[in-house]
């Protein structure tokens, strides 16, 4: 495939990912769609998104495609032992995952059929919050175009996660305010609530 065709395929995939972000699907479904789209676009074995725990010591699988449950659940992923360079903001390409010392579980790669791995950081406001990884079933030399494409999709995934967090915050705030309105209704009666707190609620929504 020519370079022009590869670039066109990547641009089309980025457009499809961005379009999916505007859908009404849940964040979990969107992330699942993203890892599937990336794997199929690159024509590789699989793709995964792993996020850092709040203490930044472990990586947790959040979405995966093309990988077995056994492989995903093989053990805790320690941030300082599982391709740690990525968590410093640097994409890392590993040609042979079964022998590379940067892998935490090199002995598990051959059993899963994983040969090469590309690991890129997921960045949100200049902070690494996780990684996106690409898995191949044969030796694979990742090009700059491959790395750029995966990095771009990883950053779109960060936006999905941020939007999910904002939605959760707004939803919780809405629930809190609604509960307070009901408490006011009980305390002051329907007549007062119809003239006062309803206005408070409308004003509150202007800040969203």
Exposed (0-12), middle (13-18) or buried (19+): which is 45, by Cβ within 10 Å?
Answer: buried
pLDDT over 80 at 190, yes or no: no
Q: Same domain, yes or no, for 134 and 89? A: yes
Contact 153, 34 (CB under 8 A): yes
Q: What is the pLDDT of residues 100-154, one digit of tens each?
A: 999 999 999 999 999 999 999 998 888 898 999 999 999 999 999 999 999 999 9
Q: What is the pLDDT of residues 62-107, one digit of tens each?
A: 889 999 999 998 888 899 989 999 999 999 999 999 999 999 999 9
Residue 21: CB atoms within 10 Å: 17
Q: Same domain, yes or no, for 142 and 171? A: no
CA distance 108 to 85: 20
pLDDT over 90 at 198, yes or no: no
Q: Same domain, yes or no, for 188 and 152? A: no
Q: Same domain, yes or no, for 96 and 177? A: no
Token pair for 3: 């370079």
CA distance 108 to 87: 22
Structure-model confidence comparison of residues 121 and 31, the more confident one: 121
Q: What is the pLDDT of residues 165-184, one digit of tens each?
A: 544 444 445 455 455 555 55
Instruction: Please report the pLDDT score of residue 159 as a whole number.
Output: 79
Summary mean pLDDT of the chain: 79
Question: What are the φ and ψ backbone dihedral angles of 141, each rounded to 5 degrees?
Answer: -95, 105
DSSP, residue by residue, 132-146: EEEE-SS-----HHH
Strand order in the sheet with 117-124: 77-78, 58-65, 46-52, 127-135, 117-124, 92-94
Instruction: Please report the pLDDT score of residue 146 as a whole number.
Output: 94
Helix intervals (H) in the chain: 3-21, 27-42, 69-72, 106-112, 144-188, 190-195, 197-205
Domain containing 16 equals 3-161
Q: Same domain, yes or no, for 22 and 78? A: yes
Instruction: Please report the pLDDT score of residue 204 as a whole number.
Output: 33
Q: Same domain, yes or no, for 62 and 154? A: yes
Residues 6+ apart with CB under 8 A from 112: 67, 68, 70, 71, 135
The dihedral formed by the CA atoms of 63, 137, 109 and 118, expressed in degrees to the nearest 10: -60
Q: Which of 23-32, 39-48, 120-129, 132-141 has the lowest mean pLDDT?
A: 23-32
Number of domains in the chain: 2
């Amino acid at each position: 495939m020519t370079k022009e065709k590869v670039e066109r395929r990547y641009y089309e995939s980025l457009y499809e990912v961005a379009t999916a972000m505007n859908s009404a699907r849940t964040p979990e479904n969107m992330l699942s769609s993203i890892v599937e789209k990336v794997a199929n676009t690159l024509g590789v074995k699989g793709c995964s998104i792993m996020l850092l725990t709040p203490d930044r010591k472990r990586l947790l699988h959040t979405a995966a495609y093309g990988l077995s449950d056994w492989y995903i659940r093989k053990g805790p992923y320690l941030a300082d032992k599982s391709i740690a360079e990525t968590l410093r903001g640097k994409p890392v390409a590993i040609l042979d995952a079964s022998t590379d010392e940067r892998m935490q579980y090199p002995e598990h790669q051959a059993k899963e059929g994983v040969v090469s791995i590309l690991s890129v950081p997921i960045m949100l406001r200049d902070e690494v919050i996780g990684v996106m990884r690409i898995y191949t079933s044969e030796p694979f030399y990742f090009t700059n175009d491959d790395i750029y494409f995966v990095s771009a999709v990883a950053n779109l995934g960060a936006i999905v996660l941020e939007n999910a967090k904002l939605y959760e915050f707004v939803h919780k705030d809405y629930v809190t305010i609604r509960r307070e309105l009901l408490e006011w209704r009980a305390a002051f009666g329907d007549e007062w609530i119809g003239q006062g707190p309803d206005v408070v609620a409308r004003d509150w929504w202007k800040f969203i």
